[in-house]
Amino acid sequence: MGVEIIFKIAAIGILTAIVGQILKQTGKEEISSLATLAGLIIVLLMVLGLVGNLFDTIKTMFNF
Amino acid sequence: MELIFKIVAIGMITCIATLIIKPIRSDFALMIALAGGVIILVMLLNYLTSVFDTFNLIINSTGISSSLYSLVLKIVGIGYLIEFSASMCNDSGNSSLGDKILFGGKIVIMVMALPIITNILQIIAELLPA
């Protein structure tokens, strides 16, 4: 748990943007959109784990 | 004490990362903001543990029933969660959804507080001469 996840998400965002642009330039529109979607899902899973961690902490802390 | 520097640093890093990412991919900017917010909140919650330990000590020495205390604690927890998620929705542009989350939180807190209110009424009824 730390700042590195912020940098990770930012890096994945930049990477998927670049990959999407390259794929789009080479004429593979559908693969480009798939790559973008994959990046979004990876980041979503990371954030989901983080939010789940927060919920667990709150649950144990406030005696739910 | 060094926690405040950590929080400020994480907040600023999140802010700058969001600003950088926003023109490239606006949907990732929200994710970064969410991650930064969760990290700050988890750090704060770990810090709060000492406060809750002290509260527990005080409650144990006063003899107030611990079920009431845990109820209040739960309500505080719901308040934190609701505030966090509602402000997240507001940030993403869905301010009406944030308002609905706030409304739901208020209703849940009211339902949870009903036992306390009935408890107070019972105490008042016992105090009153029959």
Residue % of chain B over a pLDDT of 70: 99
**Two structure tokens written together for A1:** 């748990």
Task: Evaluate if residue B1 carries a pLDDT over 80.
Answer: no
Query: How many structural domains does chain B have?
Result: 2
Of B21, B39, B62, the residue that ends a domain is B62
> Which percentage of chain A shows pLDDT scores above 70?
98
Q: Are residues B88 and B124 in the same domain?
A: yes
- Residues B33 and B92 occupy one common structural domain: no
* Average pLDDT value over all residues in chain B: 88
Whole-angstrom distance, CA of residue B86 vs CA of residue B97: 8
Distance between CA atoms of residues A57 and B44, nearest Å: 11
This complex has an ipTM of 0.78
Query: Is B116 in the same domain as B90?
Result: yes
B4: contact with A, CB 8 A cutoff: no
Residue B130 has a pLDDT of: 65
Q: Is the same domain home to B56 and B74?
A: no
* Cβ distance of B35 and A1 shorter than 8 Å: no
Whether residue B97 sits in one domain with residue B55: no
**Partner-chain residue, chosen from A9, A14, A61, that has the shortest CB–CB distance to B35:** A9
Is the same domain home to B57 and B69? no
Examine the domain organization and report whether B46 and B99 are in the same domain.
Answer: no
B91 and B56 co-located in one domain: no
**Locus of tokens 């520097």:** B5
Contact list in B for residue A62 (CB cut-off 8 A) is 73-74, 76-77
Q: Do the chains contact at A3 and B9, CB–CB below 8 Å? A: yes
Answer yes or no: do B46 and B76 share one domain.
no
User: Residue B52: pLDDT band by 50, 70, 90 thresholds?
Assistant: confident
CA–CA min distance A26, chain B (Å)? 19
Helix (H, G, I), strand (E, B) or coil at B38: helix
Domain that holds residue B44: 1-62
Mean pLDDT calculated for residue range B61-65: 83
Tens-digit pLDDT string for chain A (64 aa)? 678 888 888 899 889 989 888 988 898 888 888 888 898 899 999 999 988 988 888 888 877 7
Three-class secondary structure of residue A28 per DSSP: coil
